[in-house]
Amino acid sequence: MACSSAATAGGVTVDEAWVRAMPPGQSVTALYFTVENNSGESCTLTSVSTPEASRTELHRTTEEDGVARMRLQASIGIPAQGEAQLRPGGDHVMLFDVGRQLARGDQVSAELDFGACGRIVINAEVREPTRMHEAASHHH
């Protein structure tokens, strides 16, 4: 399985970016990646944009009473000398109104805005979920 190459701005590095492949007829998917902050100050992911989707949102999946729920997040913080993992079942970026069927092997470019820490353009490979919990679809 090919991994995306790391993209860096300032002390922030984004790596392991991938997008969930879309079942036929769906126009919603999710983007995942790891952010490492090697700078001396905390950074905040405030927005993500991609030409593939008309709208994106930062989300956090939490479990309440045995039920997974997605919550809209205004931002995702990355502490100084720390990291944030956006992954299935946790923080992630939802892509809405995707204009084409994203299939395994496709590439998706996205721009991540870290406010004062800068902007990073990434390329994410479209993949099939690899674990059972990753295969659970989001309900809206």
- Quickly count: other Cβ atoms within 10 Å of residue 52's Cβ: 22
Using CA atoms, how far apart are residues 47 and 74, in angstroms rounded to an integer? 8
> Does 95 have pLDDT greater than 70?
yes
The full set of domain ranges for the chain reads 7-126
Using CA atoms, how far apart are residues 115 and 108, in angstroms rounded to an integer? 22
Is residue 2 very low, low, confident or very high in pLDDT (cuts 50, 70, 90)?
very low
Write out pLDDT tens, residues 62-84. 888 989 899 999 999 999 999 99
Both tokens assigned to 98: 């995707």
Q: Which residues on neighbouring strands pair with residue 46, listed in sequence order?
A: none
Is residue 5 very low, low, confident or very high in pLDDT (cuts 50, 70, 90)?
low
Task: Give the DSSP H/E element, type plus range, for residue 80.
Answer: none
Q: What is the β-pairing status of strands 29-37 and 91-98?
A: antiparallel
Q: Which residues on neighbouring strands pair with residue 56, listed in sequence order?
A: 95
Is residue 6 very low, low, confident or very high in pLDDT (cuts 50, 70, 90)?
confident
Angle, CA 96 vertex, CA 93 and CA 99 arms, to 5°: 125
Using CA atoms, how far apart are residues 44 and 117, in angstroms rounded to an integer? 8
Using CA atoms, how far apart are residues 36 and 83, in angstroms rounded to an integer? 4
**CB 108 within 8 Å of CB 121:** no
The CATH architecture annotation of domain 7-126 reads Sandwich (2.60)
Using CA atoms, how far apart are residues 34 and 54, in angstroms rounded to an integer? 23
